[in-house]
A and B are shown apart, each in its own frame.
Chain A
């Protein structure tokens, strides 16, 4: 990322150079700081696109720690996190996975949507999240003691998931947790204005639209329009698209595949955006 970083820093690529902009909603910065000071693992709960990832980036920058992010998915295996043997001309060679790298050299490891990962992957983090702060690497026979700067942060969206996608109590209870929601209207409009350059009146219209779609969450939609979607719409407007067309493209059409729901959303866009 930075050419002048000393090559000796194995985490140079994961350091955050410029401050990621983040508008605090409550006292989450102090809460993150307290958990960090005591080395406690942190879970961020909240709907998609409400700023969880941006918050972690901001905090990593603020604390001066590298950030290693892993997007969890249902095929994420233990090897993907810990590492695996690779073959080269001389035989086998151990390659650290992202988690091992964070544990070894001291970084914030951010597991995005932890609940998506397979259960056998989830239990890997157990010894890291209690007083032991260890990561046993069965494949190499190594017992890795976490670097003092290692921190674990996971995100979790309780809103949408399949029937058997919930965190086990044994995993859940290892974390301290912060609940994220969509910011209240004025604040969300301010975020939107900052990120996309919209004027206030237009930003408030988009926020109104988002609030109304969120009422449909659970019934017709999995989730309502996120702050991220609003920013996308705002960027399209800033690029010169007509506001309604931008909202159709960034909000109404992506939100659902059901033609009737999309028709209703398009009509809602027309009502909210003048």
Chain B
């Protein structure tokens, strides 16, 4: 569901995993287009989720920048007021703070030193300007073994480090005090900093604007961030809240009971059912709260979809459902009487006894009810790296999986769902039990599916659970995000409802499983399902394969 352009940054996924694994931070990564010939990364901490804007660079610089930003996120303090600090003092504060957070990060992860060290090249050869001195200072603070030779830099180093190598300037106040005094030193050297031309060094460090309290009186940054989006203004970017745009007619907030019927809702409903919903605040189910409307999508031209399904055929069934023939096997649990007699005869006649002496196993278990529940909310229109909308991948994967599971002897159905407030949770039947996965009408319905609305998973899951039968039926949710709907503003509400729906399904004997497709982690979604029952899939082309390996395992 989060339509955040995580994937917009090339190599962003590996970087995101790197940050999440090492520091448990999940900043959104965005590409930074800058006219600046020496661009610096920009870390924004204003919204609920930090955003790291990265200029185009190589993998190593990307990683150095990301690690530095993570050091700020993990070890940094609250933003400081600029009050009364001169530009050179602020630059000094930033240099000291950069050195401090990096030192802490390297204490925990010593290998970071080799990542950052190649960028620290400033030495006496850079000259005596303020910019050069600050860069040389950054180098000297980064690498205690580096001898710069400048007396003032040696003085700063003595202020910064204790003789045992630990950091003395550990608090914002101490840093501020030191920066203030050191700024005066620079003034006495008759040096001036040009704040417009100064860039923090080395180049993997970000522009540090996040260290300061935003002051409205200041002119806007010279580097426009991408689309001047929500984050930089602190409106928040918490996935569930703002990312899924409500349909144009809805404004959200109010519980809009009756409304216009858009074209997408014009499909003739098969039937309308009511389901309860869990309200976390009152900790009980609200009876008959959600209205599920069953329908079939308007059929569309399925040529392209069928071609796609034919090109990438469903994986072959793993083992035959019932073995034909006389039922003799080389291996087995019980001997085959006739084969033994044959063998006895063969031994007595000194001929070669048959190799198959065992009764063949009964076929695999009789098959299960499998319902594949496809998220068709607005966010599935998002295009992936291959330029195709996610919904294309989801419907193809569902049909291909259905085909393979039918070959294994299971009964499969494919339904799609989307919601538009609790009054309209649409569940569309693409394929029912008696349909074949590649039937023309099934494909036409799948091709007619459109991304629309929100993701009220709990209601759809209750509907699915109420319509599965057999022993331990299986409900597989294919989604790209966490539960969300435009009439709910507490992200915990629908998540708690989903957890409740999963519990109810389990009690009813069904097994629920979730395939989460997308670049970002969905910890909420994962917590809603049983341990090991929510699988994150980053590459939509691998959905079928992972789905089947999960189900057949």
Contacts and interface: CB of A to CB of B under 8 A. Distances in A.
A258 B541 CA distance: 12
A216 B111 contact: no
Interface in B431-453: none
A84 B552 CA distance: 28
Contact of B111 (A79, A92, A161, A270): A270
Contact of B67 (A161, A212, A269, A271): A271
B9 to A, nearest CB: 12
Interface in A117-162: 139, 158-162
Contacts of B21: 212-213, 215-216, 220, 264-265, 268
B200 interface: no
A122 B21 CA distance: 37
Contacts of B538: 220, 258, 260
Interface in B313-353: 332-335, 340, 343-344, 347, 353
B143 interface: no
B513 A163 contact: yes
Contacts of B115: 270-271
Given A87-B343, A215-B24, A270 B114 contact: yes
Contacts of B553: 74, 161-163, 165
A17 B258 CA distance: 78
A220 B201 CA distance: 34
A262 B110 CA distance: 20
Contacts of A205: 110-111
A56 to B, nearest CB: 24
A130 to B, nearest CB: 24
A264 to B, nearest CB: 4
Interface residues on A, range: 35 or more
Contact of A79 (B333, B347, B531): B333
Contact of A218 (B472, B476, B526): B526
Interface string B523-553: 1001000011110101100000000011111
Given A162-B552, A219-B521, A274-B110, A267 B335 contact: no
A188 B115 CA distance: 27
A77 interface: yes
A161 B334 contact: no
Nearest to B334: A139
B205 interface: no
Interface in A207-227: 208, 212-213, 215-216, 218-220
Interface in B100-129: 108-115
Interface stretch (B11-19, B275-283, B457-465): B11-19
Given A218-B526, A271-B67, A160 B113 contact: no
A89 interface: yes
Interface in B449-503: 472, 474, 476
Contacts of B476: 163
A261 B521 CA distance: 13
Contacts of A274: 110-111, 113-114
Contacts of A165: 553
Contacts of A220: 17, 20-21, 536, 538
Contacts of B13: 260, 264
Nearest to A79: B333
A162 B511 CA distance: 11
Contacts, number: 117
Contacts of B340: 87, 92
A260 B110 contact: no
A264 B357 contact: no
Contacts of B273: none
A164 interface: yes
Given A159-B531, A163-B513, A271-B112, A264 B18 contact: yes
A272 interface: yes
A78 interface: yes
A163 B551 contact: yes
A267 B63 contact: yes
B508 interface: no
A263 interface: yes
A88 to B, nearest CB: 10
B85 interface: no
Contacts of A271: 18, 22, 67, 109, 111-112, 115
Given A159-B531, A162-B552, A163-B513, A264 B113 contact: no
Contacts of B110: 205, 272-274
B543 to A, nearest CB: 14
Given A87-B357, A208-B109, A263 B531 contact: no
Query: Which of A92, A261, A264, A265 has the most chain B CB within a 10 Å cutoff?
Result: A264
Contacts of A216: 17, 20-21
B111 A272 contact: yes
A85 interface: yes
Contacts of B14: 260-261, 263-264, 267
Given A87-B357, A219-B536, A268-B18, A78 B333 contact: yes
Contacts of B361: 77
A60 B216 CA distance: 72
A264 B111 contact: no
B333 A89 contact: no
Query: Which of A78, A139, A159, A261 has the most chain B CB within a 10 Å cutoff?
Result: A261
B298 to A, nearest CB: 33
23 contacts: A77-B361, A79-B332, A79-B333, A85-B335, A139-B334, A158-B531, A158-B532, A161-B553, A213-B21, A215-B20, A216-B20, A218-B526, A218-B536, A219-B526, A220-B21, A263-B14, A265-B21, A268-B21, A271-B22, A271-B115, A272-B22, A272-B109, A272-B110
Given A79-B334, A163-B533, A219-B521, 18 more contacts: A77-B332, A91-B344, A161-B532, A164-B511, A165-B553, A208-B108, A218-B536, A258-B539, A260-B13, A261-B14, A264-B17, A264-B21, A265-B21, A267-B63, A268-B18, A270-B111, A271-B111, A274-B114
The 4 closest A-B pairs by CB, nearest first: A162-B553, A264-B17, A274-B110, A79-B333
Interface of B: 13-18, 20-22, 24, 63, 67, 108-115, 332-335, 340, 343-344, 347, 353, 357, 361, 368, 472, 474, 476, 511, 513, 521, 523, 526, 531-534, 536, 538-539, 549-553
Interface of A: 74, 77-79, 84-85, 87, 89, 91-92, 139, 158-165, 205, 208, 212-213, 215-216, 218-220, 244, 258, 260-261, 263-265, 267-274
